[in-house]
Structure 1
């Protein structure tokens, strides 16, 4: 009994130690990601499974750089750009990022409403979408950041539902291993488009901003806690002692962060792999190749793979929506607020940070309004992923430059491996974007 309690305590301690990396990775598998992976599986079967092996190291490398920037600077990515780079670059980043994030929020809200209506057919998707939007606004504004993090961590568990789905679809595991280890590449518009969408939804620019900001928030909280416990007063110490303590503190946080980020990105890519596997087996294998709405993706699984897999898929879309939308809207508000110098963060009360929370509210309302444009949720989700795929090379280049800038990062600049993976990510995303643009014309 003592051993069970001890193991349970260790698991809880380990789970509590995980933070921004886990949430970042989990929120990457939002309804946008789920729709993209489902479309890939339905349209091309197991042909895109190999992308999970490519995206994991690239995604982990970029998010580790972002996390390190947040730890070292203690400010958001937008503030770092504002302090060290030209305003043109700052506004260019806003121009590319804000519309994509709003479209992503709208697509996620629409997707959640659509699958909720499947579970309760008498209620229209729009009513669910409005209800989800109101609930999200209330939760984000009135829950303190620590509570939001706790809720988001437990919502991460909903992603494990997707890992169970393929076991209802009985795949040929020999084909699965071959498709995973031997890349299939088709030089046609549809295939390149879905590969760019997969890359865009896994290496999403909004996650860069979220990772930097959340690590910066954690650094501030940790530093305040240490100061409160030890009652260290910097001006009573000599400069060398203070600098050494600060350096050791940063090094410790970076070591802890790497485990957190790698586990988060591994979870994200495992979920992506299993969704492609589930839909590639259940839908493509039975001639269902076109998915036009999120609810079709869920509903198509039921006759082929059973009611359990259909319910898992549906509940997962709603759970990941509640996980991802606070991350999306929070990222957007940090971008806008830091650009214009507005005070506020997720730790602040509404009356302390009205502009910050107003941006979040407006982004959710604009996202909801996208539902009235007549754009199908699955199309909006795919367009979002493709837009991320086209814009992420610019932001990856910015992250690479910052993380190699000694003026900003001091002794914590990129290692040779980080630079290799970072520049490889930049090349892969740029080539994919160019290929997509070329095929459009």
Structure 2
């Protein structure tokens, strides 16, 4: 019986890859900061958003994965081949600064948390070290090693599933806030809601998912059939479930501990970790900080890699994590430059919170455009053949489009409202 369970787990684990990595990378340090803000400021009021966003994320990420498997092209390549050039340049124009700011916020969060553990080393020194380590590993390691490393790094997110059991939140309150949505027409509440949508349904994930399916297909020499599509769906379902479970538990932790203690203003992940320390003890503090550094090592290569795929496909350069530096130097140079700019942002005085706000605005503008393109591609039989969208996929996809468009309009309105 035990051997059978082990074999079943190994079979299941072998099916996990791009979907798991994409989902787990969504809980990056800047995402953790957003969820921590939601919990600290509004308690458990946003627990229901983890359930709301789950089918929306699954729907879009499955479409992206299918596009990659069927066409063997990344999302930028699809846009370049099938749409007017202004749309392509619009995506590049908004994606580069948004993703670079996101990387900068994540590296700053990793550095700040590491500095709390070892105060003798300055925050920027840690950020610099992390940047160098990530760049060297991504360039040096072949794709299968990177994929395998990122896959195992996903396990660090289990840290966030343990902390609430230490703090013991009220069971009835948790159930009520999970299944009964609360909504307030209040600027702060709406900003947090839009921030959660933006950090959860992020455009860089669309690019990464599509590109990774192409890498996986080429690396394993896959021939797309119903079995491959089914395995991809298992992978995506598992990755997004894990991602949303972690995001749920972060809000549960901060909402039941920090909010109840009257600590409502949490702007960064290091503030969240420090606030937890005296309230829930050294173990939860340690788990929280390890989680931030681990998710940074998971998410930053995904962010920088997404940007490299976008630029390389735009200019038809050789691309791919499976290629060595001399085979795809443009691809890797973009990665190095984006990481360097992200690191330097920390010296300009732009706070991680400001960077997240700017990122959310840029993501908010690009997400609806990208979702519309993804839906259009996935309903085009000339491109997708027999793998076009089902009615259910279209219903959930168009619901996501409407919701993200409304969120983008609302975010822009709130930014300019006095």
> Given the two structures, how large is their TM-score scaled by the length of structure 1?
0.92
The structure with the larger Rg is 1
Secondary structure of 2:371's partner? Answer: helix
Residue aligning to 1:232 = none
Q: State the partner residue of 1:258.
A: 233
- Residues 187-266 of structure 1 aligned to structure 2 (within 5 Å): 187-223=185-221, 249-266=224-241
What is the CA-CA distance between 1:167 and the residue it aligns to?
1.1
Contact map agreement 1:293 1:376 (CA 8 A) in 2: no
**Aligned counterparts, 1:119-130, within 5 A:** 119-130=117-128
Mapped pair 1:416 → 2:391: yes
Shift of 1:127: 0.5
Counterpart of 1:387 in structure 2 is: 362
TM-score normalised by the chain length of structure 2: 0.97
Matches within 5 A, 1:22-33: 22-33=20-31
Cα displacement (A) at 1:286: 0.5
Question: Does 1:53 pair with 2:83?
Answer: no
What residue ranges of structure 1 are gaps of 5+ in the alignment? Answer: 227-245
Look up the match of 1:34: 32
- Unpaired segments ≥5 residues, structure 2: none
Look up the match of 1:367. Answer: 342
Displacement of 1:199 in angstroms is 0.4
**Whole-angstrom CA distance in 1 between matches of 2:225 and 2:81:** 21
Q: 1:315 aligns with which of 281, 290, 299?
A: 290
Aligned to 1:289, the other structure's residue is in SS state coil
Which of the numbers 112, 115, 129 marks the counterpart of 2:113?
Answer: 115
Please tell me whether the aligned partners of residues 19 and 236 of structure 2 are also in contact (alpha carbons under 8 angstroms): yes
The RMSD of aligned alpha carbons is 1.3
Counterpart in the other structure of 2:147? 149
| Distance across 2 between alignment mates of 1:339 and 1:32 | 27
Match of 2:166 in 1: 168
Aligned-pair CA distance for 1:382: 4.5
Count of residues in correspondence between the two structures: 416
Aligned residue number for residue 303 of structure 2: 328
Q: How does 1:85-104 map to 2 (within 5 A)?
A: 85-104=83-102
What secondary structure, in the 3-state scheme, does the structure 2 residue paired with 1:110 have?
A: helix
Contact 1:111 1:378 (8 Å CA) reproduced:
no
Q: Whole-Å Cα distance in 1 between the matches of residues 282 and 359 of structure 2?
A: 30
Aligned 8 A contact 2:375 2:394 in 1: yes
In structure 2, the partner of 1:439 is 414
Distance 1:344 1:155, change over 3 A: same
Contact 1:42–1:290 (CA under 8 A) maintained in structure 2? yes
Paired position in structure 2 for 1:233: none
Q: Per-residue displacement from partner, 1:115-141 (whole Å, max 9, x unpaired)?
A: 000000111101000000000110000
